[in-house]
Amino acid sequence: MSQTGPISETRSCTRDGEGRLAGAQAEGGGPEACDWARAVAFDQAHLWHPYAALGAPVWPVVAADGVRLTLADGRRLIDGMSSWWAAIHGYNHPVLNRAVSEQLARMAHVMFGGFTHAPAIELGRRLVDLTPAPLEKVFLCDSGSVAVEVAIKMAIQYWQARGRPAKHRLLTVRGGYHGDTFAAMSVCDPVTGMHRLFTGLVPEQVFAPRPACRFDGPWEPSAISAFADLISAHEDELAAVILEPIAQGAGGMWFYHPQYLREVRALCDAHAVLLIADEIATGFGRTGRFLACDHAMVTPDILCLGKALTGGYMTLAATLTTAEIATTIGQSPAGCLMHGPTFMANPLACAAAVASVDLLTASDWQIRVADSEGQLARELDACRGLAAVGDVRVLGAIGVVETRAAIDLPALTARFVEAGVWLRPFGRLVYLMPPYIISPEDLSMLTATITRVLSDI
């Protein structure tokens, strides 16, 4: 059996007594056998995966524990991705498992229209406590993209309520990523966000250059001048500035100077424009501070959280704002914020989030993230000398190796799997954002594999 390709898995799998697909190694397998090659063939014929053509390679995963993912053929991979910034405590965590199953035994879901429940209230309390004081009104959303939609609606409805409906556009910086729904897409980087596919369909927003000053480099006051010119030229039509504070994620994995964020905050105040901080990727400690805004001691008017909110267990996000914004919207002719998803504040997801937030706040995450940061900086430094590598940057538990030229992503991903690690590079970026619980030995496996694989391309 080949160990190289994702679709060559041929080991059989079984269903256990409760009907779950389980790996061939699992104990107590029932009689119903299936063939992973056929199962994967079905997937490739019928299921879309994120930003991938039908039929793109996929590896079947049957279990996950701590920082290890078990493939259907029994191979175990060290996870360098935290399932896209989310699984900060690792997989199959007993505390999170218990929180979800206890909630499941009580109530899986109930509509949030007209009802409330303990998991939502408990989560709301924690989010209000953990975020800067003016942020005290919480909207619980289904996903990060929806949290961004809600943030944008809040900003637009706020200016409508203030009698300034012309203030409905957004200013952002290039290199950002804010999600895949239409309003969120309109503020993603216009090139990597593929705006041209949707020209005329996504609202046209105002874009400043990507912040040029590196996080750990010197501050050059000229770095903010293009942004300053744009905000003053467009202030009468701008509802808000939206950006990922300090660390841009899927738009380019770029870390910029905290002074840039302080200047943005001051310019927003000077020009009566709201500031939306999209901390969906950076929140919950990933950059070394609880919020990336904390690097600059900046408080936004609207804050989006997601990804790690449930420790990677379920989809849930939150948009927080101030009493002033919420009250102004409430007193408008509309009378309320015009949003309300069917599965708003799903109790299972809220219970997972409460448990995840408590696990995090009770842990020594600051030390763990700082240790990962130090180790990533030391070990990825070896990549700097490689011919293929153009830049290496590290912030908190995020390590980025940028190559000079485009890389063959499917081939690279397959090489990583062969080497026993899970990494999902994009563009010219090979990056790591492991669970906070990763051991130094496992983290070394990840960095050494990146160095080795990049040294022969």
Which residues are catalytically annotated?
Answer: 51, 177, 278, 307
Question: Minimum distance from CB of 141 to ligand PLP (Å)?
Answer: 9
Give the nearest distance from C-beta 292 to ligand PLP in angstroms.
10
Please identify which residue in 82, 145, 319, 321 interacts with ligand PLP, judged by CB under 6 A: 145
Minimum gap (Å) between residue 187 Cβ and ligand PLP: 10
- Of 380, 10, 329, 288, the residue nearest 139 (C-alpha): 329
Burial (CB < 10 A; 0-12, 13-18, 19+), residue 19, is: exposed
Nearer to ligand PLP, 245 or 258 (CB): 245
* Candidate residues 7, 96, 250, 386; the one interacting with ligand PLP per rule CB under 6 A: 250
Over the range 233-246, which residues count as b (16 or more CB within 10 Å of their CB) and which as e?
A: ebbebbbbbbbbbb
Count CB-CB contacts under 10 A for residue 299: 18
Q: Return d(Cα 320, Cα 168) in angstroms, integer.
A: 19
Q: Considering the rule CB under 6 A, would residue 278 count as an interface residue with ligand PLP?
A: yes
Q: Does 143 bind ligand PLP (CB under 6 A)?
A: yes
- Does residue 148 belong to the site contacting ligand PLP (CB under 6 A)? yes
Q: Site size for ligand PLP, by CB under 6 A?
A: 15
Stretch near ligand PLP under the rule CB under 6 A, chosen from 33-41, 74-82, 277-285, 361-369:
277-285
Closer to ligand PLP by CB, 293 or 386: give it.
Answer: 293
To ligand PLP, the closest distance from the beta carbon of 346 in angstroms equals: 14
Give the whole-angstrom CA distance, residue 92 versus residue 211.
38
Count other C-beta atoms under 10 Å from residue 176's C-beta: 24
Residues 296-315 that bind ligand PLP (CB under 6 A): 306-307
Q: Is 322 helix (H, G, I), strand (E, B) or coil?
A: strand
Question: Are the C-beta atoms of 60 and 70 separated by less than 8 Å?
Answer: no
Interface residue with ligand PLP among 213, 267, 281, 349 (CB under 6 A) is 281
Question: In angstroms, rounded to a whole number, what is the distance separating the alpha carbons of residues 145 and 4?
Answer: 35
The verdict on 280 binding ligand PLP (CB under 6 A) reads yes
Between strands 254-255 and 247-248, the pairing is: antiparallel
- Restricting to residues 160-179, name those near ligand PLP by CB under 6 A: 177-179
Q: How far is the CB of 210 from ligand PLP (least distance, A)?
A: 15
Q: How far is it, in rounded angstroms, from Cα 430 to Cα 132?
A: 33
Q: Does 254 bind ligand PLP (CB under 6 A)?
A: no
- Applying the rule CB under 6 A, the residues between 174 and 213 that interact with ligand PLP are 177-179
Backbone φ and ψ of 182, nearest 5°: -65, -45
Catalog residues that contact ligand PLP under the rule CB under 6 A. 143-145, 148, 177-179, 244, 249-250, 278, 280-281, 306-307
